[in-house]
Amino acid sequence: MSPFAAALLQSELLPEGLDISFKALPSVLVVGMLLIFLAIGFVFRVADTENMWVAGRSIGNLENGMAIGANWMSAASYLGMAALIATAGVYGLAFVVGWTTGYFILLIFLAAQLRRFGKYTAPDFVGDRFNSDTARAIGAVTTFLIGFVYAIGQARGMALVGLYIFGDLGFLGLSGYQAMVIIMMSITVGYLTLSGMLGATKNMAVQYVILIVAFVAGLYAVGFANGYSTVLPHIEYGALITTLSAEFSEPFVNASYYLWIATAFSLIVGTCGLPHVLVRFYTVENERTARWSTVWGLLFICILYFSAPAFAAFGTDLYAQNIGAVYGDPGMTSSAADVIVVLAAQLSNLPQWFVGLVAAGGIAAAIATTAGLFIAGSSAISHDIYTTIINPDATQRQQVLVGRLSIVLLGVLTTLAALDPAAPIAALVSYAFSLAGAVLFPMFFLGMWWENTNREGALAGMTTGLTIWGISMVNEVVPTYIGGLEAPLSASLATWMPAIGSALIAVPVVFTVTIVVSLATDEPPMETKKIVRQCHSPEPMRQQQTAEDVVTDGGEEMAADGGRAADDGSTAGPAATEE
């Protein structure tokens, strides 16, 4: 087993070197920040489902870009990425590359088309595009699983950083870390239950600003205090690299070229299939805004991602000077690495309130992302499984109630799994990306770009994707939760289809299965094909309009009059049926 894989499986959860004690000023910062979130959530509280899911679709470029950024910059980016770059060197950069460059693929192939399709959730897309409630259910289960796996990493991050701020609060026989998991998750769920997505969206812009300021200010302060950098630490850390251990920058010492490619590929396609990312495109006014807010979102994400390797370089150097050797045995533990951003600030002897600010940013990152994940996961349950399949006559009240109950359920499951997590933050999150990439990305891509993709093809493809992902998870991750089993069950399977990058194998297989089965069975109905065509038509659509509205209400007229008249004609259509 490589040193990197060994580091992945450590679950030592008391970060060495981190000052674990109750700290008044940083506590006030965190509590104050959370109160601001709750207050904003309260002001924008909502009771009807339309607002709950997509914020009435009224959000512009910049704000949506910030929401994309905040949604993206989870504990995995804020804490986990610097951690992997510090411990796994060049392999850690696969995360920087995968988590940014995937947005370009999303932009050129999917963003605007999905906005035109105009459905609220990933399962809605799959269900409506392939005319199948089974497909919808698989999509919903996948969305729920993604939210769950992804959130475990967030919970681990919140709790580790919480240790620095609130100290060791072990109660009821729980360790300090475990107590912190429960406290932090209760806060997240409480906040989410109060506000719907409109509140969350407004908050996400606020959270983005807090988070990026905390991270970048932390980087500048650490760089300046130790004489590493002055005006542009994002470039200046380059000069430090040669003085660090060779493991930091030498290629393929911690992981193979194949694992690098598999990981980056998985993260890229996962980006294009992640439900809580895609739901952001349903909240914008039109497809042009969908495109530009992706560009803005990527810019906001890059600001953090250019900073993370610099933070990792500074942190690695400070750790080696103050605590011990970073690499080798024992080396830096995965829990210390996961808080290296906070640790670097602490070891730089910066004022306590300032270190607290950096730590608070980490908590904000985790809460913002968990919020988005839980919304997507709960809407999968209440909207796609409950309302669409179980109880089609559900009232608004019932839907909102089921939505809130499923948020609580997700919170409880996540808390339990995070009490003894199987891997560091970034690895946990990557499993969710592999799943999104293997199951949802091929459906979005083929569903949008090949109109003959049909129900049978989609069902076969999604089942194949789930199976492949499941095999790699059972091989490597599940055994760590079960006593007496050693992970991985098969070392050669783990080498060629690593759980962290299983989409590299899954995506081509799922594409092939979907295409072959679609070709072997009947073509989808003409109306479905027309909806796909409408998603690619350059003709603008109105804010509340979906591709289906156009096809069912205005299609005929549009063909005859060339657009204008049909547009006016169909204006009355959907409005009349809705009110």
Partner 1 sequence: MTDNSSHETEDVAATGDRAADDAVTAGDRAVDDAVTAGDRAVDDAVTDGGVATGAAQQHRQTDYLDSEVNLLNPSTPYMREHLRIVWTGFAIWAVIVFGPVTATYVAPGAMTTQMPIISFPLHYFLIAIGAPGGALALSAWYARRRDELDTKYGIDHDDAGDSA
In the region spanning residues 76 to 115, those forming contacts with partner 1, defined by CB under 8 A, are 90, 93-94, 96-97, 100-101, 103-105, 107-109
Q: How far is the CB of 269 from partner 1 (least distance, A)?
A: 12
CA 573 to chain centre: 37
Q: How many CB atoms are closer than 10 A to CB 527?
A: 12
Q: Which is nearer to partner 1, 353 or 511 (CB)?
A: 511
Under the binding rule (CB under 8 A), the answer on residue 250 touching partner 1 is: yes
Look at residue 539 and give its three-state secondary structure: coil
If one asks whether residue 390 binds partner 1 (CB under 8 A), the answer comes out as no
Residues 147, 381: contact at Cβ < 8 Å?
no
Q: Which stretch binds partner 1 (CB under 8 A): 40-48, 170-178, 260-268, 481-489?
A: 260-268
Calculate the dihedral angle through the C-alpha atoms of 542, 545, 551, 556, rounding to the nearest 10 degrees: -40
288 is a contact residue toward partner 1 (CB under 8 A): yes
Q: Among 122, 264, 428, 471, which residue interacts with partner 1 (rule: CB under 8 A)?
A: 264
Under the binding rule (CB under 8 A), the answer on residue 242 touching partner 1 is: yes
Calculate the dihedral angle through the C-alpha atoms of 361, 214, 240, 333, rounding to the nearest 10 degrees: -20
How many residues bind partner 1, per CB under 8 A?
74
What is the C-alpha separation between 71 and 201, in angstroms, rounded?
A: 9
Q: How many CA atoms lie less than 13 Å away from 201 in the CB half-sphere?
A: 29
**Residue 538 Cβ vs partner 1, minimum distance, rounded to whole Å:** 5
- Nearest CA among 131, 154, 132, 135 for reference residue 143: 135
Instruction: Return the residues of window 483-522 that contact partner 1 according to CB under 8 A.
Output: none
Among 239, 412, 491, 519, binds partner 1 (CB under 8 A): 239
Residue 485 phi/psi, 5° resolution?
Answer: -110, 145
- The single residue among 32, 170, 251, 525 that binds partner 1, judged by CB under 8 A, is 251
Among 43, 213, 231, 299, binds partner 1 (CB under 8 A): 299
Restricting to residues 520-579, name those near partner 1 by CB under 8 A.
529-530, 532-545, 551, 555, 558-559, 562-564, 567-568, 571
Q: Provide DSSP, 421-435.
A: -SS-HHHHHHHHHHH
Site string for partner 1, 391-430 (x = CB under 8 A): ----------------------------------------
Nearest distance in Å: CB 240, partner 1? 8
Tokens of 1: 């087993």
Spatial distance between the Cα atoms of 68 and 448, rounded to a whole number of angstroms: 22
What whole-number distance in Å separates Cα of residue 472 and Cα of residue 490? 10
Check residue 280 for interaction with partner 1 (CB under 8 A). Answer: no
**Is residue 433 within 8 Å of 271, Cβ to Cβ?**
yes
CB–CB of 138/164 below 8 Å? no
Of 19-27, 138-146, 162-170, 445-453, the segment contacting partner 1 by CB under 8 A is 445-453
Q: Report the alpha-carbon distance of residue 314 to residue 525 in Å, rounded.
A: 58
Q: How far apart are CA 402 and CA 277, in angstroms?
A: 23
Q: Which stretch binds partner 1 (CB under 8 A): 124-132, 150-158, 235-243, 343-351?
A: 235-243
Q: By CB under 8 A, which span of 216-224, 431-439, 447-455, 458-466 interacts with partner 1?
A: 447-455
Asked if 249 interacts with partner 1 (CB under 8 A), we say yes
Report in angstroms how near the CB of residue 455 gets to partner 1 at its nearest. Answer: 17
Give the three-state DSSP class for 546.
coil
CA–CA separation, 54 and 280 (whole Å): 8
167 binds partner 1 (CB under 8 A): no
Residue 245 contacts partner 1 per CB under 8 A: no
Q: Least separation, in Å, of the C-beta of 101 and partner 1?
A: 4
Asked if 160 contacts 177 with a C-beta cutoff of 8 angstroms, the reply is yes
Q: Is 234 in the site for partner 1 (CB under 8 A)?
A: yes
Q: With respect to partner 1, which residue has the nearer C-beta, 47 or 239?
A: 239
Nearer to partner 1, 352 or 544 (CB): 544
**Of the candidates 170, 238, 330, 525, which one interacts with partner 1 according to CB under 8 A?**
238
Q: Is 103 in contact with 298 (CB distance < 8 Å)?
A: yes
